[in-house]
């Protein structure tokens, strides 16, 4: 079974803090993704990576950066967290056309 894990299920941070969200997949997938999910807006793509050290902006990259130093790990970084970044963050990796999602991190920025 494909397994995508995320470092935290719940996270509470203060405005201005630097936040790291970690994602690991165990299936040697090349493509990895970060989304955020908000009520009424669905999942929106923040960034994706198709290889180590390669990244591309998604639809809403502002306020975020990413890092992919190893194939199995894709990190999302909030340089200076703001309250409008309170959301559910979902990581995914791809096998063919199927995306496998991690369980999500619910981030609250106060």
Partner 1 sequence: RKEVEQDPGPFNVPEGATVAFNCTYSNSASQSFFWYRQDCRKEPKLLMSVYSSGNEDGRFTAQLNRASQYISLLIRDSKLSDSATYLCVVDRSGSARQLTFGSGTQLTVLP
Which residues contact partner 1 (rule: CB under 8 A)?
Answer: 31, 35, 40-45, 48, 50, 56, 58, 90, 94, 96-99, 101-104
Cα dihedral value 21, 77, 63, 79, nearest 10:
120
Tell me whether residue 17 or residue 106 sits nearer to partner 1 (CB atom): 106
**Would you say 102 and 92 are in contact if contact means Cβ atoms under 8 Å apart?**
yes
Closest by alpha carbon to 76, among 97, 49, 101?
A: 49
Least separation in angstroms between CB 18 and partner 1: 25
Least separation in angstroms between CB 83 and partner 1: 22
Closest by alpha carbon to 91, among 3, 2, 6?
A: 6
Tell me whether residue 43 or residue 77 sits nearer to partner 1 (CB atom): 43
* Both tokens assigned to 52: 């180590």
Tell me whether residue 8 or residue 17 sits nearer to partner 1 (CB atom): 8
Least separation in angstroms between CB 103 and partner 1: 6
């Amino acid at each position: 079974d494909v397994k995508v894990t995320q470092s935290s299920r719940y996270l509470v941070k203060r405005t201005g803090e630097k936040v790291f969200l970690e994602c690991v997949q165990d299936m040697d997938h090349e493509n990895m993704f970060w989304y955020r999910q908000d009520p009424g807006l669905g999942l929106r793509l923040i960034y994706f990576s198709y290889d180590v050290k390669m990244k591309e902006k998604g639809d809403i990259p502002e306020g975020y950066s990413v890092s992919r130093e190893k194939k199995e790990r894709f990190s999302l970084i909030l340089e200076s967290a703001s309250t409008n970044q309170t959301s559910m963050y979902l990581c995914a990796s791809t096998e063919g056309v199927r995306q496998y999602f991690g369980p999500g991190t619910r981030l609250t920025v106060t």
